[in-house]
Amino acid sequence: MDARYSRQLVLPGFGEAAQQKLGAARVLVIGAGGLGSSVLPALAAAGVGTIGIVDDDTVELSNLHRQTIHGTADVGSPKVASAKTSILAINPVSVTTYEERLTADNALELFADYDLVVDGSDNFETRYLANDAAHIAMVPLVWGAVSQYGGQVSVAMPDGPNYRDLFPEPGDALSCEVGGVLPTTVGVIGSIMATEVLKLITGIGDPLIGRVTTYDAKTGRFREVEYRASVEQPSVMPENDSVTPAELATMTGITLIDVRETWEAEIAALPGALVIPLGALPEVVGELPTDGEYVVYCHHGVRSLSGLHILQHAGLRAKHLAGGIDAWSKTVDPEMARY
């Protein structure tokens, strides 16, 4: 084996077999920013054979304090190009770049070429998209997030808990531009993410599956929270205000309303549904025919409860799909079962 890997080859439980797995692995990293700046060099140095990078952004001066894979001379250049140059200077592994934004149109095609995906994005839209696409493509996903002085890391498996089980709904988080970020926090979280990738590929250790590790740079403390996959969200509505997937499959003359985001519906949706994101529903509910009957749905049946309240408050006859499209895929439409 290459002498460059000698210090990890002597690790207990590692050895040549683990190194060969790294060399054969194909890992796609979303984002060549702060988290990617820690993840990408670490994976290359450890000997991951094929690395893909997805990012449509260019290097900015204000990012260099935490995006250390880039340099001053790279300002204005595509991040994927700069990152590739840095990676190859560390180790001549195979690097494929995708100078584009991850979207519902390209996610599944991109993920199909890789064994594992790392999400180092900086926004909720991409984070949920990456989670859902990885679930459908049946590939493990390592994700991390940072904000100001803190961050968190976890692993989503196709047959286990995922990001939506921990965060069913998008939350509020300040961007680095608005709220700021301590660069060393990004380095800590990125290093943990890279470690999880190496563990998943080689089979060593206990990956963060069903667990999320959080880090507080101000105190230097780590905290771990366990979470489980949601079989079905508990209903807080009377039974006659909800329908099961089996009941919905027999209903006629109803209008389906999908209150997820547009990009979610592009991945998987019920045929004929109107896509009206929950945030936009109050503005357009007055335009819906008052003599119709509606069934509202989302991913797990959480947002649809809010949508149901909005429709009923407007005087419309409506129910919501208990368990959401996730329950539908498990009981009615197996083709959608990986969503």
Tell me the catalytic residues. Answer: 176, 298
Distance in angstroms (rounded) separating the CA atoms of residues 189 and 70: 18
Distance in angstroms (rounded) separating the CA atoms of residues 237 and 249: 21
DSSP one-letter code for 104: T
Distance in angstroms (rounded) separating the CA atoms of residues 97 and 28: 10
DSSP one-letter code for 105: T
The distance of Cα 249 from the centroid of its chain, to the nearest Å, equals: 30
Torsion angle, alpha carbons of 16, 17, 22, 24, to 10: 110
Phi-psi region of 293 (alpha: psi -120 to 50; beta: other; left: phi over 0): beta
Which token pair is 248?
A: 């919905």
Distance in angstroms (rounded) separating the CA atoms of residues 306 and 12: 52
